[in-house]
Structure formats: structure tokens, C-alpha cells
């Protein structure tokens, strides 16, 4: 039993999340088979991977800001605005694709820059800062757009509709972005500074790190990736939508995927690889419940149970693996043999000194 417990404690959060993903896959295959469907069919695998694409982009960006000790609740509005700008500029003209993509990403980066400057410069908590910026963008969308707008050309729609075998092109692009971000976090000074600032901003500052730079950079990259997700949704829908981000609930769902992947909400610990595992679990759960025609409201119940269970497991492992602050001898009191040979300033031994004071 102790050997099994020790093995569990040696498992990282990334190992655990992929073990849960494997278990979800096995259980899902059995449940889907009960309704006469094949979980591992090419069409179903493609559907699952397609479900990981949009959430994957947003969750990767959310991982960066959470690692830096912040949050971003403006991502659903950035997604919607990006889709509208791209579709509006493209106007069903293939020659306008580059301009539409550039404009959408530029505006997304500007929103991320505003978030980062408010958090790092004005010292406003990320939750409040990004919520406020998100409400501003949401108000602009509600005022200026009453429905879908613009149209993307057929050549751009192919990005959201084609794939290599059962693997969609959008999923491959998302995985490429994840690899770049993971490499940045592991091998660059900016990545190490993001971990340092999220772990303890005060210590990072005393170590000579300009704590504002990693925080602003994390917010800019998060909004950029949300903008890419908006471009992907525009490619799938063929038009821009002012409500597509909010309807997807990508703010809370991306945070949930990051936490499920083992990243600490307090910051400073986590990985993009773990986040991808969390995204995969949510995609498989949605696919399984969709095939079985489960009540949509029950999906949120299942998601909530999975998140709470995962965080409880991570917290229990953290407490169990925490080393004791004192050994048994120190907890029972001073050891006489430790006092032998030592003298206090009065010339007495520590034991004699304590007796005299008593």
C-alpha cells in the first residue's frame, strides 16, 4: 500500500491529467458503444479534435496570464471582436484575407496591452481589470452590432473545414502554437520571468526582474491567441458574430481547463502540456454527452464535478507531499545531547541555565 501511495505522490499533475484523459476515453468508448456508435471512428475523432481547437487557443493564452499570477476575463469579447473585424474587412474577397487577419490580431494585441498596463501599471487585480475591459468591449459590440456581420471568402473558410486525415488543420495550428509557447516558457528569459513573477513578485523584483514586463507580455499573448480563436470561428461560421465568444463561455471554461491541467491559480507553477490535457478532457466529455444526447444543463454539472475533483486531488497531493518542518526530536523539545559541550554567555550549560531560570 505504501509503495502504491509513494508512486501516486511521484506522479506530476501532468501525469494525472493525462491518466484522467485516458480513463475518460475508455469510459467514453464504452458509453458510446451502448448507443450503437463507435467512439474511435474517424468522424468522431475529427469532431473531438475540432472541439479542442478554439478552446485550446484560448486556454494556452490563459495559461500564460495565470502563470504570471493574473487572470483574463476579457477573452470572450476579444474572440467576438476579432471575428467581426476579420469578416468585415475581408468582405468575401480573397485579396483582403491578409489585411483582415492583421487588423484582427492588431486590435486583439492592443486590448491585451491595455489589460497588461492596467494590471502592471495601475496595480489593479487581473480579475477586476480584465472584467472591466471586457465589459467595455462587450458594450461596444452590443451598441454597434445587432447580429452577424461581414463575410469571409471560401479560401479562408477552408482553414476551419479541412484536415489531414481525421486531424483538422485548425488543431495542427493550435498544437504548433502550444509548442512555441511551451518552448518560450522553458527556454527563454521571458518564460522564466513569467514563472518567477507568478511565484512571488516581491522576490522576483528583489532579484532584479522588471515584474511589469512579463505580466504585460503574458496579457498581450493571451489576447493574441484569443484573436486567433476568433479568426478560426469566423472561418467556420463564414461571418463575424458579436455573441460567439460569450455564448461559448470561453472565459471560465479556459480557466477551468488550465486548472484541470494542473496550473496553480495563484501562479508560478504549471505547463501548457497539462493545459492541453485539460482541453482534451473537456472536448471528450462534450462529445460523449452530445452523442448520448445528454441534457445540455447536465454538461455543466459534469464539468463542475470534474474540476472540483481534480483540484481536490492536486491539493491533497500537495499537503501529503509537504515535508515536516521539524523532526520528532525537535517537536518533543530540546535534546539534552544537543546541549552537551555548549556554554551560554554566563558560563553555564544551556540545561543548567534553564534550571536556574525555573
Closest Cα partner for 258 from 33, 98, 57, 82? 57
CA atoms of 261 and 277, how far apart (whole Å): 6
Task: Give the mean model confidence (pLDDT) for residues 125-141.
Answer: 95
Q: How far is the C-alpha of 83 from the C-alpha of 239, rounded, in Å? A: 7
- Give the ranges where 238-270 is alpha helix by DSSP (H): 244-248, 250-260
Residue 348 lies in a domain: no
Calpha distance 214→201 (Å, rounded): 11
Q: Is residue 216 part of a domain?
A: yes
Top pLDDT among 310 and 86 is at 86
Q: Strands, E, within the chain: which ranges?
A: 163-164, 167-168
What's the confidence (pLDDT) of residue 350? 52
Which CATH number is 122's domain given? 1.10.3470
Closest to 279 in 3D by CA, of 257, 304, 260: 257
* Euclidean distance between CA atoms 103 and 92, whole angstroms: 16
**Could you tell me if 277 and 14 are in contact, meaning their C-beta atoms sit under 8 angstroms apart?**
yes
User: Cα separations (Å) of 45 from 49, 87, 279?
Assistant: 6, 29, 14
Q: Which residues contact 328 (CB under 8 A, 6 or more apart)?
A: none
- The 8-class DSSP code of residue 271 comes to -
Given this model, what pLDDT does residue 298 score?
Answer: 84
Report the C-alpha gap between 298 and 28 in whole angstroms.
16
* pLDDT of res. 357: 53
Whether residue 96 lies inside any domain: the answer is yes
Per-residue confidence (pLDDT) for residue 189, from 0 to 100: 95
d(CA 312, CA 227): 33
Q: Are 40 and 198 in contact (CB under 8 A)?
A: no
Average pLDDT, the chain: 86
Confidence of residue 8 (pLDDT cuts 50, 70, 90): low
Within-domain flag for 343: no
pLDDT at 190 (0 to 100): 95
C-alpha cell at 256: 477551468
Share of the chain above pLDDT 90, in %: 66
Q: pLDDT at position 6, please?
A: 55
Condensed to tens digits (0 to 9), the pLDDT of residues 165-198 reads 889 999 999 999 999 999 999 999 999 999 999 9
Mean predicted confidence (pLDDT) in 306-321: 70
Q: What CA–CA distances, in Å, run from 260 to 16, 180, 195, 199, 309?
A: 10, 21, 18, 19, 9
User: Structure pTM?
Assistant: 0.85
Residue-wise pLDDT tens digits, 78-126: 999 999 999 999 999 999 999 999 999 999 999 999 999 999 999 999 9
Residues 6+ apart with CB under 8 A from 262: 12, 13, 14, 16, 17, 270, 271, 274, 278, 314
CB 85 within 8 A of CB 100: yes
By the 8 A CB rule, do 72 and 135 touch?
no
CB 87 within 8 A of CB 150: yes
Percent of the chain residues topping a pLDDT of 70: 85
Tell me the CA distances in angstroms from 122 to 64, 112, 114, 313, one per residue in order: 20, 15, 11, 36
328: pLDDT confidence band, cut at 50, 70 and 90? very low
Whether residue 75 is predicted with pLDDT greater than 50 in this model: the reply is: yes
> Does a structural domain hold residue 122?
yes
Q: Which of 170, 178, 203 is nearest to 51 (CA)?
A: 170
Determine phi and psi for 167, rounding to 5 degrees.
-95, 115
pLDDT at 348: 56
265 domain-assigned: yes
- Per-residue confidence band for 130, with pLDDT thresholds at 50, 70 and 90: very high
**Which residue range(s) make up the domain with 263?**
2-318
* Per-residue pLDDT tens over the stretch 219-276: 999 999 999 999 999 999 999 999 999 998 899 899 999 999 989 888 889 999 999 9
Q: How many domains does the chain have?
A: 1
- Name the grid cell of 189: 528569459
Distance CA(304)–CA(310), nearest Å, equals 10
Q: Which helix (H) or strand (E) holds 202?
A: helix 201-206
Q: Write b or e for each residue in 140-172: b if 16 or more Cβ atoms lie within 10 A of its Cβ, otherwise e.
A: ebeeebeebbbbbbeebbebbeebeebebbbbe
Q: What is the pLDDT of residue 10?
A: 67
C-alpha 198/C-alpha 200 separation (Å) is: 6
pLDDT at site 266: 86
pLDDT digits (tens, 9 = 90+) for 21-34: 999 999 999 999 99
In-domain check, residue 166: yes
- Does 333 fall in a domain? no
Q: Is the pLDDT of residue 140 over 80?
A: yes
pLDDT in tens, 150-167: 999 999 999 888 888 889
Amino acid at each position: 500500500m505504501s509503495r502504491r501511495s509513494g508512486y501516486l505522490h511521484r506522479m506530476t499533475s501532468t501525469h494525472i491529467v493525462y491518466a484522467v484523459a485516458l480513463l475518460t476515453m475508455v469510459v467514453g468508448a464504452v458509453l458510446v458503444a451502448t448507443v450503437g456508435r463507435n467512439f474511435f471512428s474517424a468522424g468522431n475523432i475529427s469532431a473531438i479534435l475540432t472541439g479542442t481547437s478554439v478552446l485550446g487557443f484560448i486556454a494556452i493564452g490563459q495559461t500564460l496570464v495565470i502563470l504570471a499570477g493574473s487572470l483574463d476575463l476579457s477573452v470572450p469579447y476579444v474572440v467576438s471582436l476579432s471575428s467581426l473585424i476579420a469578416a468585415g474587412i475581408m468582405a468575401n474577397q480573397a485579396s483582403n484575407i491578409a489585411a483582415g487577419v492583421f487588423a484582427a490580431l492588431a486590435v486583439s494585441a492592443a486590448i491585451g496591452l491595455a489589460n497588461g498596463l492596467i494590471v502592471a501599471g495601475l496595480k489593479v487585480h487581473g480579475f477586476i481589470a480584465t472584467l472591466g475591459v471586457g465589459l467595455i468591449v462587450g458594450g461596444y459590440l452590443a451598441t454597434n452590432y445587432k447580429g452577424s456581420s461581414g463575410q469571409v471568402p471560401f479560401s479562408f473558410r477552408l482553414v476551419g473545414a479541412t484536415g489531414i486525415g481525421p486531424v483538422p488543420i485548425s488543431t495542427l495550428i493550435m498544437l504548433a502554437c502550444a509548442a512555441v509557447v511551451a518552448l518560450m516558457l522553458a527556454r527563454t528569459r521571458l518564460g522564466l520571468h513569467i514563472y518567477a513573477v507568478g511565484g512571488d513578485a516581491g522576490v522576483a523584483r528583489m532579484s532584479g526582474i522588471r515584474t511589469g514586463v512579463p505580466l504585460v507580455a503574458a496579457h498581450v499573448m493571451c489576447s493574441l491567441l484569443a484573436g486567433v480563436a476568433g479568426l478560426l470561428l469566423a472561418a467556420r461560421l463564414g461571418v463575424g458574430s458579436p455573441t460567439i465568444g460569450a455564448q461559448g463561455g470561453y472565459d471560465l471554461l479556459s480557466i477551468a481547463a488550465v486548472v484541470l491541467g494542473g496550473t496553480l491559480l495563484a501562479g508560478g507553477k504549471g505547463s501548457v502540456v497539462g493545459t492541453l490535457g485539460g482541453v482534451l478532457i473537456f472536448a471528450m466529455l462534450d462529445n460523449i454527452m452530445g452523442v448520448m444526447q445528454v441534457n445540455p444543463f447536465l454538461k455543466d454539472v459534469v464539468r463542475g464535478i470534474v474540476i472540483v475533483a481534480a483540484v481536490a486531488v492536486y491539493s491533497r497531493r500537495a499537503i501529503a507531499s509537504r515535508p515536516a518542518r521539524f523532526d520528532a526530536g525537535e517537536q518533543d523539545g530540546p535534546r539534552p545531547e544537543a546541549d552537551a559541550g555548549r556554554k551560554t554567555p554566563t558560563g553555564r550549560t544551556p540545561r543548567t541555565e534553564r534550571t536556574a531560570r525555573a
